[in-house]
Structure 1
Amino acid sequence: MKARRSTSGLPRADEATPGRSNPLGASTGRRSRVRAWPGANSRTRAAAKERAEMVALQQGIRFRRIFVTLVGAVVAVSALVVLLGTIGLLNETRSRPLTPAEQNTYKQEEIARRWQAWPATGVFPEEVKYLGLDRAQQYARRVGIAPETACGKAVDASVAGLLDSHGCVTMLRATYVDQTSTFVITVGVAVLKDEESRVSASEQLGQDDRVGVLPVAFPGTVTERFGTEQRQRTGWVGAGPYIVFSTAGYADGRTRAAVPPEEILHSELWPAAKSIGNQIAYFLADPPKVPPCTQGNVC
């Protein structure tokens, strides 16, 4: 079919010759297209991903090495501290010979707790040896043990204030009779807080034989007539943290005032009473056997 022509004899605009370019450079009758940038191929993407993974892996390895190093250092330091502590503990607790100062401390502590650690019958034995006439050995018999009491309630007022000011803890008392049941002797153990306090109190106590421990009588026994007025003489002796008082009188109830000064009726009484008090003081303060090592007999 032939193309239509205009009346002027020229072709119509919509009938332009195929392939002929318009002034903008686009082919006549076709839509213009924008050429896209070529995309990255799969090999490039894979290589980039692999490099990123490798970088992340290497960074993780570095972090792990740092972490492991820190943990190792902490564990090593902790182990060293535990080791040093164990060595120190073993050095402190291992058995070793006692030093002279430790031996002395052991003795003092052992003596100081005897009044509590021992039974009352241990502090005041049932029988106590003493020297009678012509230095004959005889035995005093314990009649009874009084209840533990405050120091101030078991001694004369002038002595009570002194004991209290030096930290007297308590007073233990028991009453004995001599082998013939003629003499009655009350022994009192004043417990001071330590040996230094006892020494200080002893320096101020004096030797007034009219004051000291108060007698303890037990009704229904030969001692029932022994009271404050019946005391013929009193005395004391220091031993460790203890002051051991003793006072003596006659079982028949005679008072001190009833005995004329020129009559020495108690020439046997007081040596016996003093000997009994000294024996009890010796029992309490007798130095214990000290183990040679901190953990017994084996160092």
Structure 2
Amino acid sequence: MARFRSVAHLDRPGEEVEAALFRRIEIGVERIAEMGDRVVEAGGAATPERMVPSPDFEATVDDVVAALAELIVHEQDEVAVGQATARAVIRGAERRLWGLGAISLVGASVIGLLLSRRITGPINQLLAAARGVGAGALTRVAVPGSDELAALAGAFNAMVDDVEAARSSLESAVAARTSELEAANVALRESIAERESTEARQRLMMHELDHRVKNTLAAVIALAGQTLEGASTKEEFRIALEGRLHAMARTHEALARERWKGVDVAEAVRLVLD
């Protein structure tokens, strides 16, 4: 019976109803066993043919049957209550699981959004800065941290520094070359202007020289004609022409000394007579 009580979990506290019913069954079974023992002691086997039902035996059997029926009903009620409790627990667990699932989904979405912004934000900055470099704006980007994006931003900034240094060096070289070209152009313009001025002076001098030579030749021709008219012999003509030519030459020298501003008449007469 001890094992029966252990198997039926009658050793658990708080199960008074089951314990009372099992106690009734236990007592009935013990009484039936005692009746069987008495029959055996009387000299025969305890068989249904030799056992004579008595009111006490029938009452004991009825009590055991009633206790078993009550136990079955009670166990059915307990099973129903347990099933209802289990269903309630399952529904509560399902609700909690659904709640946890929704919370997890929302949390995952929020975390994904934050991570996406954390990743795409610096990438968008790098793209904007790269477009700016293509347009000529050497803009640096600031990405805090020590991850791959920060390393990429550092490399981009180093590239911008190199581009800026190269552009500055190129601009300096272009400015220096431009200055040299401007100086050369100025010198060339001055040289061209000076050459044009020299050529103009030369043309003027050639024109003046041509004019004066023509005038001189005309004067010589006129002088020779006048001398020829007054001379009777060639020798006389030669001597008279040489004198007049020497007088003309001295007058020309005097005009040259005075820068062609004119010579005093007395001085001119003296030069001719000398």
Q: TM-score, normalised by structure 1?
A: 0.27
Greater strand percent: which structure?
A: 1
Q: TM-score, normalised by structure 2?
A: 0.28
**Larger relative contact order (C-alpha < 8 A, sep ≥ 6)?**
1
